[in-house]
Structure 1
């Protein structure tokens, strides 16, 4: 492939304004779409009489279509470039958002949510790819950190600001407004972002055998056995059920719930930036990222046990701690890249992303089915026992992987060596 010398075509300031900002705008928008249903849950239930199971399916449909699109989107990015792919997919998201605003029944909303997930499937991957054209390798980690922060900002905007707007405008208008914002993202990318400086070649579709090679890799399986399920639980529950839990068990109103979710999304930004710093600090004491992840999962399980106890005065703090500590599971991207062979890194990242997204879909759906076993009261609240059973099952799902890791480090004497170093 031939490449235009990017350092001659764009200076640093133009890269930030003409490349980073438009794609970061898209990444931020994708997180607003991803999480805003958690705040709008009472409106959807009230107007459309959705059950908890339907609500779980509706919200998790985003993750389902998003995950199914990952492999073909990755191939399209290599073939056609991030600018063209992002514009086409964002157009699909606009259609889905308008359809969701018009939808009068569960089936229409489900199809709309699927289209939204498909349309936003390339926001993060296209950002990573386009930045690699213009940013030197040594600066990429910092730029990626800014990109993740943009996603966290979108997650924050999907909570309190959306709840505040919902007090003044119908929830359907919010989706029409999001369609307009997405069009603005498209215009920014179309007019500001320069043409990709790479002549793309047709790429071969990854074979089933090449993907199975990743899942058969011992190092890959070791990492996901500890971190995958906690990652999907942190991802899935925060995106939908944390808000409903605060309302049903803590009896907080929509405004207070949105405030706590807003703070929780801010914790995502803090946690994501902190995990890297903590991991780097721990390396000074010969503590490997896998050990940092294991200790973090122990804390995450402790938070979930407290959640299952339904201690009402602690609910707001626990909802924030759940989000903050849950970010530790994101270490698996780094660990996988370090553990597997260089030739497998790209496929491993794609396969990991698929597992996380599909897992979040299953977690959101299953949690909804579990609490739907119990009837709602006159105010539309599910009983505390429903959430106790739901959290209890989540804890049980994570326990085998954590115990396997714990037994492994105890056999190797790792925990003892950590104590001696500290």
Structure 2
């Protein structure tokens, strides 16, 4: 990325061109970032971006760590696929429960205080997981972890959108998701290396310490002055207004299911597919998962840059999303075909192409009225995590309909059927999008300009 592009993301200096970088319309300030209009990029990076990016790092690390721990957890607790899916997917259900309380606390106390409280709670959950002895105890600990990191994306987008120019928001969110990709990558091969030194209980003690350290760092670098709290929270009416918004409905119709499948599958079942169907040893599985999660970093940055490039050429973000979702579905179709020489490549492509689903956050932030931005983030997060919970738990139940072989591997047909169901679930959204675009414009969907997308009900 060019130096001036990085500068434009984290710099609001006196030499900035107001015409080239118009100030975004924002919600009422929650920190002195909004009150001080011109700040050097270093200050914005260390006080606004980095603390919340590290929170997203821990969110992704704790969400995906079970993918590598499956053999250890199964050996300790004798879990079947349904129980394994329940244990891991509890994280998503707990994140859903965290959305409204986090949104209220965010408006009342600001992002830095909320980040501190959330991550300390997640650290407590990690300690509970380390000392859990039964499935019930581990499920409860996983729920506490999920509740603790459940609002990191919402808090980060809230803080970062107030510190960058509006047209650079896609790139900023892309870098934020890239930090999440770094966390996901850390949950694979690095975790496998740590397990050579300790067991999974020792690992979670270390994760608890790391989470608490990041929480304290975020608190220490916070701005020392803050605006008066608003005390506002998303109301039922506000959430209903979000749902009635045409732009919001069009976005989730196309992207939501793919987003939930991407999150629900990458943190558990892609690894099990590599083990059960491709028959890779656990070390190779951890390495491929590492490559897959590392691909998220490059994919997230690329999505942000491509979205900005397309916007300058009159291509709407939703059209970019449509192309990406279609590619993501094609990757899943290839999994259904079960072509064994491409198993490793498909595992990486699943996460690389799936990063396009993160564009939902940018589209929602840019297309809805300012007063609906906060409730829209809460509503979107709830829908995504409810879906991810259902995908991760439901896929486990589906795989469990088949019997494992003598060494515990489930048959390829189970996974082919499972991925086939996922493909069928996503096709209606793509078809409806294409039909609506064609009917509205009379041209190929990719040529529709953003102004048409921005119309609301």
- Listed as ranges, the gaps of 5+ residues in structure 2 are 1-27, 449-457
The counterpart of 2:53, out of the listed 8, 14, 24, is 24
The counterpart of 1:194, out of the listed 193, 205, 223, is 223
Structure 2 residue 129 is matched with structure 1 residue 108: no
| Contact 1:36-1:159 within 8 A present in 2 as well | yes
| Contact 1:130-1:196 within 8 A present in 2 as well | no
Shift of residue 145 of structure 1?
Answer: 3.8
Taking structure 2 as the reference length, the TM-score comes to 0.84
Shift of residue 229 of structure 1?
Answer: 0.5
Structure 2 residue 396 is matched with structure 1 residue 335: no
Shift of residue 89 of structure 1?
Answer: 2.0
Q: Distance in 2 between matches of 1:133 and 1:290?
A: 23
| Contact 1:133-1:197 within 8 A present in 2 as well | no
Compute the RMSD of aligned alpha carbons. Answer: 2.5
Structure 2 residue 308 is matched with structure 1 residue 280: yes
Q: Distance in 2 between matches of 1:53 and 1:417?
A: 41
Shift of residue 142 of structure 1?
Answer: 5.0
Q: Distance in 2 between matches of 1:140 and 1:312?
A: 40
1:269 is paired with a residue whose SS is helix
Shift of residue 236 of structure 1?
Answer: 0.9
The change in CA–CA distance for 1:306 and 1:49 in structure 2 (over 3 A counts) is: same
The counterpart of 2:322, out of the listed 291, 294, 309, is 294
The residue number in structure 2 matching 1:262 is 290
Segment drifting more, 77-86 vs 55-64: 77-86
The residue number in structure 1 matching 2:125 is 96
The change in CA–CA distance for 1:267 and 1:183 in structure 2 (over 3 A counts) is: same
Q: Distance in 2 between matches of 1:80 and 1:98?
A: 26
Q: Distance in 2 between matches of 1:170 and 1:55?
A: 18
Q: Distance in 2 between matches of 1:290 and 1:14?
A: 33
The counterpart of 2:417, out of the listed 368, 389, 393, is 389
2:65 is paired with a residue whose SS is helix
Q: Distance in 1 between matches of 2:366 and 2:387?
A: 23
| Contact 2:171-2:304 within 8 A present in 1 as well | no
The change in CA–CA distance for 1:301 and 1:25 in structure 2 (over 3 A counts) is: closer
The residue number in structure 2 matching 1:358 is 386
Shift of residue 43 of structure 1?
Answer: 0.9
Structure 2 residue 76 is matched with structure 1 residue 47: yes
The residue number in structure 1 matching 2:331 is 303
Give deviations 1:98-133, integer Å, cap 9, x for gaps: 111111111000000000011112323333444466
Give deviations 1:132-186, integer Å, cap 9, x for gaps: 6666667766544433322221111111111121233101110010011112112
Q: Distance in 2 between matches of 1:108 and 1:268?
A: 32
The counterpart of 1:77, out of the listed 103, 106, 110, is 106
The counterpart of 2:253, out of the listed 225, 228, 232, is 225
Taking structure 1 as the reference length, the TM-score comes to 0.91
The structure richer in helix per residue is 1
Shift of residue 211 of structure 1?
Answer: 1.2
The change in CA–CA distance for 1:55 and 1:136 in structure 2 (over 3 A counts) is: same
